[in-house]
Structure 1
Amino acid sequence: MTKILYMNVNLFEQEVLFEKGMSMVSAERREKIQKFKNPMTARLSLGAGVLLKLALEESSLDGKMDQIETGVHGKPYLKHTDFHFSLSHSGHYAICAFSNAPIGADLQQIKETLPKRTTRILSDSEKEYLENLTDIERVQAFYRLWARKESLIKWDGRGLHLPIEQLSFVQDGVLVDTIPFEGKLLYFREYQDLLPQYAICLCNEIGIFSKKIVEITAKNLKNP
């Protein structure tokens, strides 16, 4: 079982919805959100927290929010359950993927140009792959590669301790959806049609990805 919840966090521009969201997240996240000076940063963090709350409710784990712990390298998890989740946010959207098996999810807003120092996260074959594309294609492909690598990082849980420039999603000049990793075969699923101008990717080791994707709207929050 894998499910994706996502939302446009601009809905939290409405004060009543912002307060409703704040009542749904953990005390730790509320405190963190209150410290943000950038309103969009606060809304993105709030969106991720609300989606996690809804994922827990759907998994019959309502009330467990405050039992979520953080691993040595920062990966959040819920002990003594088979509930696995991954949060991500970028641009105006937040996403939560949850499953009964370890999962990683990443969402990247595709900008008009490449970010600086892009080569630091790319393998040699990925660099060569991008060089053979048009400018527009190159930007799109870079963010797709970035989302794949971030989804693996989140699945793994060790963060930037992983040498992501040594992980390659290009083989024989073609993007691939499976790669070997530390004795395992990891699977990746992109959702290119879900949100225009966003790269979205999930990672797991079972190769099964649900098509169940739900957008959480203002109406959902007003009428839970």
Structure 2
Amino acid sequence: MEIVKRKIDRNLSREKFDYLLSFVNEKEKKKILRYRRYEDSLRSLYGKIILKDMLNLEKVELEYNKWGQPKLMNEDKLYFNISHSGEWVAVAVDEKPVGIDIQEINKTDLDIAKSFFSKQENEYISSLPEEKRIEAFFMLWTLKEAFIKAKGRGLYISLNSFTIDISNKKPLLYNEENEECELSLERVEENYFMATCILEKSF
């Protein structure tokens, strides 16, 4: 797996933005420009340009499955995934289905976990000292997002339909299908977690 992460330049000139925009096809260009906030357009564009550079593409040409997951047009042997949050954009590329998620750590209502996390995950968070619960929440959230993105079905998979155990050094997935995947988690700077997931077989 190859991963590239990059900070966005919020002061990027409009001229440079338009130049970079020329490296994506018209469909992607419209998607990027559809955002109301310039920063959101910038993050989306950065993801496509990072992918272009990683794969040495002349232009980014994507197609989408029925769940809205992007893939390279006319390419069935290479997988990629893009994530962005706050200042960071991250892209992962692999020969197996791959998911990546980066999340900024901020104050959040932990009651969200009761709705979206499994019973085991909620019990784990509750067992921790209060000052460590927010971090555990974001560790689990990024790992779970990375898994469902690797599956290629996005939020069509319920987040509480599977469990990720982070009580040991290596995160482990448990679900009814006994799927095998390689999960990893790292901290980016002080305020972000980034997780990746590689599936052992295609779906």
TM-score range relative to shorter protein: 0.7 to 0.9
Q: Contact 2:114–2:122 (CA<8 Å) still a contact in 1?
A: yes
How far off its partner does 1:64 sit? 6.1
- Segments ≥4 residues shifted beyond 4 Å: 173-176
Tell me the residue number matched to 2:126: 131
Secondary structure of the structure 2 residue equivalent to 1:169: strand
Q: Higher relative contact order at CA 8 Å, sep ≥6: structure 1 or structure 2? A: 1
Tell me the residue number matched to 1:20: 19
In structure 2, stretches of 5+ residues that fail to align are none
Tell me the residue number matched to 2:3: 4
- What TM-score, normalized to structure 1? 0.79
**1:156-212 residue CA offsets vs partner (Å, 9 max, x unmatched):** 0112221221311137x55752224424211201122x3321110010135xxxxxx
1: CA distance between counterparts of 2:34 and 2:63? Answer: 21
- 114-123 vs 21-30, which moves further: 114-123
Q: How does 1:1-224 map to 2 (within 5 A)?
A: 2-11=1-10, 13-57=12-56, 62-63=57-58, 65-66=60-61, 68-78=62-72, 79-114=74-109, 117-170=112-165, 174=168, 176-181=170-175, 182-192=177-187, 194-206=188-200
Q: Contact 2:23–2:59 (CA<8 Å) still a contact in 1?
A: no
Secondary structure of the structure 2 residue equivalent to 1:147: helix
Secondary structure of the structure 2 residue equivalent to 1:21: helix
- Identity percentage over the alignment? 25
Aligned residue pair count: 198
- RMSD of the alignment, in Å? 2.2
Q: 1:36 to 1:163 in 2, by over 3 A?
A: closer
2: CA distance between counterparts of 1:108 and 1:47? Answer: 16
Q: Contact 1:108–1:199 (CA<8 Å) still a contact in 2?
A: yes
Q: 1:30 to 1:115 in 2, by over 3 A?
A: farther
Q: Contact 1:56–1:65 (CA<8 Å) still a contact in 2?
A: no
Q: 1:186 to 1:118 in 2, by over 3 A?
A: same
In structure 1, stretches of 5+ residues that fail to align are 207-224
Amino acid at match of 2:20: G
Amino acid at match of 2:97: P
Amino acid at match of 2:179: K
**1:117-139 residue CA offsets vs partner (Å, 9 max, x unmatched):** 33221111111111122333111
Q: 1:51 to 1:115 in 2, by over 3 A?
A: farther
How far off its partner does 1:29 sit? 2.1
